[in-house]
Amino acid sequence: MMSNTNLQASNVFRTEEVRKLIGNLDTQIGSPGGEMDPMERSRLGDRFRVHISKLVDLLGKPNVSDFFPVLARFDLQGIAKEMRGVVVEVERIFDCFIDAKVKSMAAGGGMEGEERSKDFMGILLELKDKQLGEGSTFGLTQIKAILMDIVAGGSNTTATMVEWVMTELLHNPSIMQKVQQEVTNVVGANNVVEESHVSKLHYLEAVVKETFRLHPPLPLLVPRYPSESCTIGEHTIPKGSRVFLNMWSIHMDPHVWENPLIFRPERFLNDNSEKFDFIGNNVEYLPFGSGRRVCPGIPLAEKMVMYLLATLVHTYEWGLPEGQKIDLSEKFGIVMRKETPLIAVPYHK
């Protein structure tokens, strides 16, 4: 995620997954009730997706013990019990991944040889093996915790944002037409979208930015804990306080954004395309945070979201099941997802 060279080198994996998604969608078209969740096939498998989704929901639930720590040991709402059950199931899936990786490394690298074995999990397993012995603090538990952070923090938010963009495009047909026209002009009507096309899709980028403004994936970002007491405006923030940044409120501020409730990608075009970037240079637009605690996965997420969306709108026409309307209601949590999943119908152009 933090090496441009490795990010470019991993293009083959992103291409492979997008091609799989399109293959699955082609299979769905023409089948009875050919409607489907367009993001379903882009996640990590049904079983894994369900557990990670449940975990994210539990992390975002209001918990009485957050306000009265003395009650934490009683687990009055049953959240801790539910959390333990979900974590156990996710650990079992990680065990399968890790076992497969260990066998692949023992066999000499697996399908693509040594280059493919040197992925992130392979490096973590090598590090664990080097630290074997008494007093070692890095083992399988730590590896699974790191993987949990990456999967819960990365895959769920990425799939959620693709779903929100598709929702807004279906809700705004004229904007969908502009996006499709731009992708056709850049890619060609009979060509396949490649990741190299993404940097030229300026209107689609504006659509994605506007979706992040209206539906920030982490509406309160990740809590901050100041290492020293400080004063901001007229407020004193004590050392060690838990601080939330309400990005949803900032992105809806009418003093900053004209008609903030309206989906209008044009606000991110021309000079504003650089003014409002994803890396937090403007305090009025911080969907991924800013500074040393900015999301490290921005380059990967931007590539994946743009590439996937460009492929979906270029390959198919999209509609809704008969009699259904777009639902823009939000489900509050640590990740702001749709209250009801988007069900859309793809058609061959």
230 known member of a binding site = no
DSSP class of 259: S
This prediction has a pTM of 0.81
Q: Rounded to whole angstroms, how far apart are CA atoms 153 and 170?
A: 26
CA 20 → CA 6, 108, 145, distances in Å?
A: 22, 26, 28
Q: Helix, strand or coil for residue 137?
A: coil
Tens of pLDDT, residue by residue, the chain (349 residues) = 667 888 888 899 899 989 988 988 888 776 555 565 555 544 445 677 777 777 777 666 767 676 767 666 777 677 778 878 888 888 888 888 888 888 888 876 544 444 544 678 888 888 888 876 666 788 888 888 888 877 776 667 888 899 999 999 999 999 999 999 999 999 999 999 999 999 999 999 999 999 999 999 889 888 888 999 999 888 999 999 888 889 999 999 999 999 999 999 999 998 777 788 888 888 899 998 888 878 888 888 899 999 999 999 999 999 999 888 999 998 877 788 898 889 998 988 8
Beta-carbon neighbour count of residue 6 at 10 Å?
Answer: 13
Residue span of the structural domain in which 201 resides = 4-348
Consecutive H or E run containing 337: strand 337-338
Q: Looking at residue 195, what DSSP letter applies?
A: G
Phi, psi of 315 (to 5 degrees): -85, -35
The CATH number that applies at residue 278 is 1.10.630.10
Number of domains in the chain: 1
pLDDT at 180: 97
